[in-house]
Amino acid sequence: MPPAARTSSRRRPPHDVADLSLATAGEARIDWADAQMPVLAQVRSRFGAERPLDGLRVAACLHVTAETGNLVRTLRAGGADVWLAAANPLSTQDEVAAALVLADGVAVHARRRIDRATYARHQETVAACGGPGPHLTMDDGGDLLALLHEPAADGAPTRASADLIGGTEETTAGAIRLRAMARRGELPVPVLAVHEADTHRVVENRHGTGQSALDGILRATNVLLAGRTLVVMGYGSCGRGVAARARGMGAAVTVCEVDPIKALEAKLEGFDVAPSLVAAERGDIFVTVTGNRDVLTREHFERMRDGTILANAGHFDVEISLGDLAAAADGPPVEVRPLVERYVVGGRRLHLLAGGRVVNLAAAEGYPASVMDLSFTNQALAVEALVRQPGRFAPGVHRVPQEMDAEMALLKLESLGLGIDVLSDAQSAYGRSWG
Ligand code: NAI
């Protein structure tokens, strides 16, 4: 039986959302994701009993989606007062924002497709938490911590209050930004970088990106992968996921790398390996996942076959050189399907997906909820660690502790009904005796 709607007549927190009447639809969406997030649900139930965040203010700047809704519910169960802004106005699910205000008492300031000024105002409001500022921050790009540590209007060196304990960061780009702040001496609190957890790399990058990048390509094009040659550019944690999933669907996979060890690994795992200019002549579908720029350039486009598909699942829209593609083409691109543009290069048709933007976000729905289950459990355990272990983490950016990573993997295994062995005392002692 579906859970009863939890919208209640409790006092509404301060908020700025599109339409509170969407709350019931939002609750249904959050509940659907919840059913695929069993690990976070376990933590939520423990938080409900232990209340580790009682009375603490959490400012979060995250994508306002159903999965985030379940993270926020977990923080609320732990006793936190939560203020939530969007990390990107385009990803905000207005119905989720409404449900979190009405059913969960979260001070949401997020609406889809707002202008830059409103977006910035929302972040300011959430960073202030109604005046006193947060005890904890949760960032997806470092915006909140950067905002809190800018000089304040009244001349004070920073807006962060003495209450600030620390924060979490979800992305690589955010961690780079925060580490730069730390080097300049502008980050006086610890930040746990959840994307650097081993569980994150395996579950999110490899399996989440692997599946969802192909999902985006298939939704945009509806091509059959079996029998095609798919070229993966970059065999890192994301690339190996794309390669493995494509092989599973019957594609012949060629890997292009600049790191000889990664290239050797790819070969020994059964993939073809070739320089990119050679692969350019063989591939039917190209997927860039390097984090680098200009991975596919004019030289490649001029060698490609008729009907080639070009997709990026890595960094921003710089991995496929859009300038080179436009310059090599015989004329302007033509949109042949939603999110598919046809460029004609030397009489051959090349199809660019989603304008070279990250294909799993632009053409599919990003990660499935069960992938976000671990990322957001990581977030919840990270804020708990910051609160319960004061002094453990010095100011600066840290990986999540190893034992937290292991706890998450164990919880995930348990949620799948699986157990594992533990070392006996004699085995542990034997292992240590060699150290
Ligand atoms: P990684 O560092 O593990 O792997 C990148 C690989 O690309 C490395 O092995 C490197 O040697 C290789 N490489 C670099 N330049 C190259 C070039 N010119 N040609 C061929 N290979 C090259 O990084 P990871 O974790 O796999 O991430 C890759 C990119 O994907 C990053 O930009 C990351 O931000 C992005 N990413 C995208 C996600 C999505 O949802 N689409 C999710 C997670 C990360």
Q: What is the pLDDT of residues 89-141, one digit of tens each?
A: 788 999 999 999 999 999 999 999 889 899 999 999 999 999 999 999 999 99
pTM: 0.85
The residue nearest atom 3 of ligand 1, judged by CA position, is: 236
- Residue 213 CA: nearest ligand 1 atom is 41
- Residue 313 CA: nearest ligand 1 atom is 41
Site to probe by mutation for ligand 1, drawn from 169, 172, 238, 300 as the one with most ligand atoms within 8 Å of Cβ, is 238
* Pocket lining: 286 vs ligand 1, CB cutoff 6 Å: no
Q: What is the pLDDT of residue 3?
A: 45
Q: What is the pLDDT of residue 156?
A: 61
CATH fold of 3-196+366-415: Rossmann fold (3.40.50)
Q: What is the mean pLDDT of the chain?
A: 93
- Residue 239 CA: nearest ligand 1 atom is 26
SS (H, E, C) 168-195: EECCHHHHHHHHHHHHCCCCCCEEEEHH
The residue nearest atom 11 of ligand 1, judged by CA position, is: 259
Query: What CATH number does domain 209-357 carry, 3.40.190.10, 3.40.50.720, 3.40.50.10860, 3.40.50.1240?
Result: 3.40.50.720
> Quick check: 92 and 86 in contact, CB under 8 A?
yes
Sheet with 285-288, strands from edge to edge, namely 272-273, 252-256, 229-233, 285-288, 308-312, 348-353, 340-345, 334-337
Q: What three-state secondary structure class fits 358?
A: strand
The residue nearest atom 1 of ligand 1, judged by CA position, is: 236
User: How far, in Å, is the centroid of ligand 1 from the Cα of 239?
Assistant: 7
Q: What is the pLDDT of residue 160?
A: 72
**Spans in the chain with pLDDT lower than 70:** 1-10, 151-159, 435
* Pocket lining: 172 vs ligand 1, CB cutoff 6 Å: yes
* Pocket lining: 166 vs ligand 1, CB cutoff 6 Å: no
Q: What is the pLDDT of residue 149?
A: 86
For the chain, which residues make up each domain, given as ranges?
3-196+366-415, 209-357
- Residue 205 CA: nearest ligand 1 atom is 43
* Pocket lining: 200 vs ligand 1, CB cutoff 6 Å: no
- Residue 256 CA: nearest ligand 1 atom is 20
Q: What is the pLDDT of residue 10?
A: 58
Q: What is the pLDDT of residue 298?
A: 98
- Name the nearest CA neighbour of 38 among 435, 376, 310: 376
User: How far, in Å, is the centroid of ligand 1 from the Cα of 261?
Assistant: 15
The residue nearest atom 36 of ligand 1, judged by CA position, is: 314
In terms of C-beta density within 10 A (0-12 exposed, 13-18 middle, 19 or more buried), how is residue 419 classed? exposed
Q: What three-state secondary structure class fits 232?
A: strand
* Pocket lining: 321 vs ligand 1, CB cutoff 6 Å: no
Q: What is the pLDDT of residue 151?
A: 66
- Residue 171 CA: nearest ligand 1 atom is 34
- 209-357 and 3-196+366-415 share a CATH fold: yes
